[in-house]
Amino acid sequence: MFKKITTPQLFFIGIILASLSFSPFILDQTLVPRFTGLWILIALGLLNLSIKRFKFYFQPDPILFCFFAFTLVSGLSIFWAINKSEAIFSFGKSLLSFLCFLGAVLCLKNNKEQFIFFMLKFSVALFYVGCYFALWQLIGLQSFGREDLYQVTGINGHKNLYSSFMFLNLFFLLLAFSKLKKLWKYLSAVAIVLTLLLFGLLMTKAVLLALVISAGAFVLLYLPGKYPLSQLSGKKATITSIGIVVIVVSLFLLLIPSVINTSISKLKAAGDNVPTSVKLEQERLILWDKTYTIFHKKPMLGHGAGNWQVNLPDATLTGLWRGEDLNYTFQRPHNDFLWVLSENGILGFIFFIGFLILILFFLYRTLPRFASRKLKFEPALCLSFIVGYCCISFFDFPRERIEHVVWFSIILAIGYDRIKLEEVIQSYRQVTLSSFFTYVLLFISLYFIYVGVLRLKGEFYTRKMFDDKNRGILSEVIKHGKQAESFAYTLDPTSVPIAWYTGNAEAMSGNYMKALQDFKKALHFNPYNRNVLNDLGSAYVFENDVIGAKMCYEESARISPRFDDPKLNLASIYINAGDYKTADSWLKSILHDSERRSHYQKMVDLALHK
């Protein structure tokens, strides 16, 4: 029975699961279910291939090499990442992207018409499914204000993510309008109009900018009869593409940091009399600046996949007013390129940029080969949407999400397929991979299914733990926290270690030794979290380890200068030691008034003025 199911059919089901899977019982209802579901379908597809003793035949080229090399660097970075669980999960997403790209390339090679028509019809159906959910979410809004619109998520986890996914889907809707007939053509036309209306309603700036850039790029690519650089010979084309990669990498390493610093200075000069939206843009620039700060600490290899959010506080939270005063946590830098640069270093970044530039450059070289505009439509549209999506990636974080990874990989595969058909890139001799390769990939797939199941379990029990915490049931907080933890899940969605919650529950239950062990474990998983450091310092105080407590408090105060608790705790230590002068300096560095600060200040003033 299983032999009757084809691998392309399983791949199609995987695309559906990656777009629609969700679970109401976990914290992030879409991310891990789609990750796990897609890996399950990949495993089934590989099992199907192994049963049929399928052998892989392909011709390597610079594009494929760069994508593979980036994926490999992402996997190797697990070894030097601080938090292994996040690195493993992030590598799983990178590998999914690579395998989906290869899967789409194989489907296009074997039966392009079937694959394209499935994607076109599914994109139309998927739009209406997402629109249905978005409509109900819109009906439930009290107003159409900026904050209220964040509740419109469609079939995605966030308003901006819904908008960026609709942008990807728009590529297929436009193709559907040009290729499909009768009812499907009318449905796609209506879907295109509604998509544009939703863009205008949701007002996601990165997507609107991408839409303008894509439209402009399409006009420039579709209309002209001459294409500069397109007629270069093979060797000259390769040298030119490498030169473009070097220029782009240099821009990110040299020019963009300077532009960011200048922009931050101008916004700071404007003072506090600026709208909240401007403050948020300033915050984004500060995030980018701090991303460069942590990048410079490990420039060659980076901090490891999925570890940006762990390392960010090491650059301090100064300037991030929501992070310091509202205890808001930042999980991504709102720039996929800087995200890759900080986590995978210059080496991984070169391969990442190289892959995108090579796809764009060689796809551009195919355009003069089409005699009619009708034939030119698909490659021109593909190229313009890749450029537009790169624009979104510069201001947002679409590579975090499985559905974005899958659909963008398919668009890239369509472009790559056109490049290979037109033979505008030099390929190396054909390589044959034996069935052993299939078994290795199958084993890797089973491993990531296990990782996905553990993360589903982790989020399920973390949600229960939060409910127990709100109800004040300490024993259940500890129980569910321990059930949530595994090698694949150590942080909640805000990068706070699960062990920190159980440590606080143990401390409030009077189990100070257990609390100390949990806080140490939490520090291992996130060594720059200000709350973990502060509470570990307090645990050291109970154990009379004053030196350890001071180190933790001072590091917490360094990371977040507006965080009062570690400074008050340090003042208490120095008051108890009779060092009133040092205690006074810590009290004077506190930015907020409190009863505890006033009490300590009176004690210090009395001692200093005897």
Given a contact cutoff of 8 angstroms between Cβ atoms, the answer to whether 391 and 209 are in contact is yes
Position 274 scores a pLDDT of 61
| 363-371 mean pLDDT | 85
Residue 195: pLDDT band with limits 50, 70, 90 = very high
In single-letter form, the type of residue at position 251 comes to: L
Q: Which residues lie below 8 Å from residue 130, measured CB to CB, with a gap of 6+?
A: 154, 155, 156, 162, 165, 166, 169
pLDDT at 82 over 50: yes
| 67-94 mean pLDDT | 97
pLDDT at 67 over 60: yes
pLDDT at 229 over 50: yes
Given a contact cutoff of 8 angstroms between Cβ atoms, the answer to whether 484 and 458 are in contact is yes
| 393-416 mean pLDDT | 93
| 449-461 mean pLDDT | 97
Position 610 scores a pLDDT of 61
pLDDT at 47 over 90: no
Given a contact cutoff of 8 angstroms between Cβ atoms, the answer to whether 16 and 155 are in contact is no
Residue 572: pLDDT band with limits 50, 70, 90 = very high
Position 597 scores a pLDDT of 93
Given a contact cutoff of 8 angstroms between Cβ atoms, the answer to whether 415 and 101 are in contact is no
Q: How would you class 68 by CB atoms within 10 Å of its CB: exposed for 0-12, middle for 13-18, buried for 19 or more? A: middle
Residue 374: pLDDT band with limits 50, 70, 90 = confident
Nearest C-alpha neighbor of 498 from the set 509, 508, 487: 487
pLDDT at 585 over 90: yes
For the full predicted model, state whether its pTM sits above 0.85: yes
**Between 139 and 547, the higher pLDDT residue:** 547
Beta bridge partners of 431: 58
Least confident of 129-143, 351-365, 498-512: 129-143
pLDDT at 319 over 80: yes
Handedness of CA 267, 310, 252, 210 (dihedral sign): negative
Q: At what angle do helices 205-222 and 182-202 cross, to 10 degrees?
A: 130
Residue 272: pLDDT band with limits 50, 70, 90 = low
Q: At what angle do helices 205-222 and 373-395 cross, to 10 degrees?
A: 150
What is the residue-wise DSSP string for 188-243? HHHHHHHHHHHHHHH--HHHHHHHHHHHHHHHHHHS-S--TTTT--HHHHHHHHHH
Q: Measured between alpha carbons, how far is 531 from 527 in angstroms, rounded to an integer?
A: 10
Residue 7: pLDDT band with limits 50, 70, 90 = confident
Residue 259: pLDDT band with limits 50, 70, 90 = very high
Beta strand 56-58 with 431-433 is antiparallel
Position 154 scores a pLDDT of 86
pLDDT at 151 over 90: no
Position 277 scores a pLDDT of 61
pLDDT at 559 over 90: yes
Q: Tokens representing 366? A: 């195919």
pLDDT at 508 over 90: yes
Position 276 scores a pLDDT of 60
Position 225 scores a pLDDT of 67
Position 275 scores a pLDDT of 63
Segment 413-450, tens digit of pLDDT: 999 999 998 888 877 777 777 778 888 999 999 999 99
Least confident of 152-161, 445-454, 581-590: 152-161
Q: Tokens representing 71? A: 């994926």
| 593-606 mean pLDDT | 92
Task: Write phi, then psi, for 317 (nearest 5 degrees).
Answer: -95, 10
Position 2 scores a pLDDT of 47
Position 65 scores a pLDDT of 93
pLDDT > 90 in the chain, percent:
69
Position 526 scores a pLDDT of 97
pLDDT > 70 in the chain, percent:
97
Q: Measured between alpha carbons, how far is 502 from 480 in angstroms, rounded to an integer?
A: 9
Position 198 scores a pLDDT of 92
Q: Measured between alpha carbons, how far is 191 from 435 in angstroms, rounded to an integer?
A: 43
What is the residue-wise DSSP string for 535-588? HHHHHHHHTT-HHHHHHHHHHHHHH-TT-HHHHHHHHHHHHHTT-HHHHHHHHH
- For 438, the enclosing helix (H) or strand (E) is helix 435-471
Residue 227: pLDDT band with limits 50, 70, 90 = confident
Residue 525: pLDDT band with limits 50, 70, 90 = very high
**Between 171 and 437, the higher pLDDT residue:** 171
How many CA within 13 A on the CB side of residue 231?
5
DSSP three-state, residue 529: coil
Q: Tokens representing 471? A: 């109800």
- Candidates 3.60.20.10, 1.20.210.10, 1.25.40.10, 2.70.170.10; correct CATH number of 454-608? 1.25.40.10
| 570-579 mean pLDDT | 94
Mean pLDDT score of the chain: 91
pLDDT at 1 over 50: no
